[in-house]
Amino acid sequence: MVRPPLTPQQIEAGRRLGAMLRAARGTRTLDDVAACAAISPETLRKIETGRLPTPAFATVVALCVALDVDVRAAAETCGAVPLAG
């Protein structure tokens, strides 16, 4: 099965998510956060740089836990859910 190409909105959402996760990582090393989230450092690098704009939900949750980021805040950042008003 061929996966349809991502829309420009999905690509931009992935970039926003990656930038938010990179900012949340702060001074922690990429290897440390990747190990805490049980993913490879290369996967984290791809997410942070926007080269993997649609990571699996479980991966996003694991990164949020490792970085002490609220999952809803991450979803709001990338536009997956409306901002709380």
Taking the model in full, what pTM does it have?
A: 0.87
What integer is the mean pLDDT of 18-26?
A: 96
- When pLDDT is cut at 50, 70 and 90, the band that residue 77 belongs to is confident
Annotated domain spans of the chain: 8-77
Judged against a pLDDT cut of 80, whether residue 80 lies above it is answered with no
3-state secondary structure of 42: helix
The answer to whether the beta carbons of residues 16 and 60 sit under 8 Å apart is no
Mean pLDDT of the chain: 91
* pLDDT at residue 83 greater than cutoff 60: no
- Is there a contact between 66 and 37 (Cβ–Cβ < 8 Å)? yes
User: What 3-state DSSP class applies to 73?
Assistant: helix
Distances (CA, A) of 78 to 1, 23, 35, 38, 55: 27, 14, 24, 22, 12
Architecture of the structural domain at 8-77: Orthogonal Bundle (1.10)
What integer is the mean pLDDT of 50-71?
Answer: 95
